[in-house]
Amino acid sequence: MAKRENSDRFYTVHGGSVRIAAKLLVFGTLSLLGAGLTLSGCKSAPDLSQADAQAMIQAKYDATPAVGANITVDELGLGQGVTAKYWDRTKLYPNKFWADFTLTPEGKKAVKLPDGSDVIKWRPLSETDKSFSVIVVTVAANHLRAHDLKEVQDETLPGVATAKGVQFTEGVNLDGVPAPLVNIAHNPGNKLSTKRQADFALENGAWKLHSIE
C-alpha cells in the first residue's frame, strides 16, 4: 500500500506539472499569434518614388485642358515682334510715345490678345517709361510640365492618416511656339516656372495625389 500511495503522490505532483506546462504552451502560442497579428497590422507604407510622384503630377496636368502661355511683351519684345513681322505700328499718337500695333496675318497665327482684338495698345506713362508692357497669349496650347522634383518627404495633412509631400517646379510648355516668340518669352519680366508643393495620401494601400499648392 505504501508503494501505491507513493505512486499516487508521484502522479499527482507530476500530473500538475504537465498541466502547468500545457497551459504555458497555450499562452505562448497565443502570445506569438497576437504578436503576428500586431506586426501584420503595422505594415509600413509603400515607398513613393520621385518618378511615381512626377507621373501622378503630370497626369493631373495632362487631364487639365491645354491653354496658351501668357507672354509679357516689354519695349524690347515689342521691337522683336516688329522684326518678326508679328505686328506693325499702325498709329502714332501726338505725344510720340503712344502707339497702336496691329497684328499681322503671321502674328495672328502665333498670338492672340486677351481682349480679343487685334491691336496692341501701347500706352507707357511717359517717353522714358521702360516698365510698360502688354500680355499676349500663344495660339499654341499646351499642358504645364512638372520637373526637378526634390526628395519625397513624410507629410502631415488634416484628415489624412498617412501622407507624403514633394517640392517641384511647374514649367510653362512652349512646344509648338515659333522661335521668335520663344525668344520674347525669355525676356526679363516673363515667369516661365513656379515652385510648387504636391501632397499625396495613402488610400487603400496605394498613393494618390491629394493636392498641388
80-102 residue pLDDT tens: 999 999 999 999 999 999 999 99
C-alpha cell read off for 78: 515689342
One domain, residues 71 and 16: no
One domain, residues 11 and 91: no
What average pLDDT score do residues 180-197 get?
97
Total domains, the chain: 2
Task: Please give the sequence-ordered ranges of beta strands (E in DSSP) within 93-192, or none if there are none.
Answer: 99-103, 111-112, 119-122, 134-142, 145-147, 153-155, 163-171
One domain, residues 54 and 25: no
Residue 21's domain comprises 1-43
- pTM, to two decimals: 0.75
One domain, residues 158 and 65: yes
Where are the alpha helices (H) located in the chain, listed in sequence order? 2-41, 50-63, 75-83, 105-110, 179-185
One domain, residues 39 and 104: no
What is the total residue count of the chain?
A: 213
One domain, residues 37 and 123: no
Q: With bands split at pLDDT 50, 70 and 90, how would you rate the model's confidence at 27?
A: very low
SS3 175: coil
